[in-house]
Amino acid sequence: MAHSGKLVLRVVAVDTAIALIPPFLLLALLKDVSAARLLECFGYSLIYSHCIGTLAFIAIPRVWIASEKINVWARWIVRAAAMFAAAIAGSLIACLIFVALHWIPPGLYWTEFSGSLKMATFITVFAGTIISMYENFHARLDETKLQLRTRELERERALKLATEAQLASLESRIHPHFLFNALNSISSLIPEDPKRAERLVEQMAALLRFSLDADHAGLVPLDREMKIVSDYLAIEQARFGDRLRFRIHDYGECGGVQVPPLAIQTLVENSVKHAVSRNRAGGEIQVSLARENGSLRVEVQDEGPEFALASAPSGHGLDLLKSRLVALYGQHGGLSIERSGGANRIILSVPQNGGGHASVLG
């Protein structure tokens, strides 16, 4: 019963959050919007969101699971059709509520329905896809945890899987928060720079796709990891504007080096959170990479306050990254921090096959 109550509260919270998207878009597209107009838009959007969201919550997870066994194109057609059906049925119910509340006269029922269907369908398909992937990802995480509790594995294997499960749990909590921050940034750019807004949507999709695939990938090429780092910084720069400045130094022939997925992104995200967001003037982040004594050395420098790695909260960010490095490399990989000239330098060391030294360029 308690679990059901929490589930209902989560659905209500997500539907309410999605209902904020149309008012934000209205505020971004129109210069002069009264508070009363925004409140009216939110009221309509809230009813649409809860009507459509409730139907989607009941139907889409079942369709998502049932379609797993068919080929990929048919699978996404079936899932999109289910979300479209939820948008239509929910919109029909919402319009009935508007009539019952005397918000619209009965004669305008079909006019309201047809006029709102495009926006309702777009938001339903977009939000439904993200949330369904998130729930599917969360279900896989729960399954992994169950396997860890019921199977006896050797110590090294158990440590590695537990660390990956902790990382996946952290990512599943971050994604919704990051998603809504990114949506707000993108909506504010639509009237000013639509091409940049479109580019940010593509970068956000690439980042989410990479994050969802990360638990299946043992290691990834450095080029892929740095593309995600660049996409992440570009999205956050749209949010912070001139407060966030960054520079990624040339890393030469290191592009094919294998690294743990999201390792460097975790370091950069830590700098954004603690060195940029907390400083009214913002700050600069620099990323330097080089081969040194048979290892890849990654340095992320920021101008934030001094801190110690030991103070990182257990189960979050840098602490999880340290655990992953131990699980993957034992004592051959590591994370350290240096402070000089009022700047922090977080240093990631990843062992590689072969040695050689390459100086940092930039």
pLDDT tens column, 311-351: 777 767 788 888 888 878 888 888 889 988 888 999 999 88
Range with the lowest mean pLDDT among 142-156, 165-179, 237-251? Answer: 165-179
**Prediction pTM value:** 0.49
Contact (Cβ atoms closer than 8 angstroms) between residue 255 and residue 223: yes
Q: Which residues fall within 8 angstroms of residue 56, CB to CB, at 6 or more apart?
A: 83, 86, 90, 124, 128
Is the pLDDT reported for residue 3 higher than 60?
Answer: no
Task: Give me the residue spans of the domains in the chain.
Answer: 2-151, 155-362
Note the Cα 185 to chain centre separation in Å: 14
Percentage of the chain modeled with pLDDT above 90: 7
Is the pLDDT reported for residue 120 higher than 80?
Answer: no
For the stretch 148-163, pLDDT in tens is 667 655 655 555 655 5
Q: Which residues fall within 8 angstroms of residue 241, CB to CB, at 6 or more apart?
A: none
d(CA 18, CA 141): 25
Q: What pLDDT does residue 160 have? A: 60
Domain 155-362 has CATH 3.30.565.10: yes
Percentage of the chain modeled with pLDDT above 70: 81
For the stretch 89-107, pLDDT in tens is 888 888 888 888 888 888 8
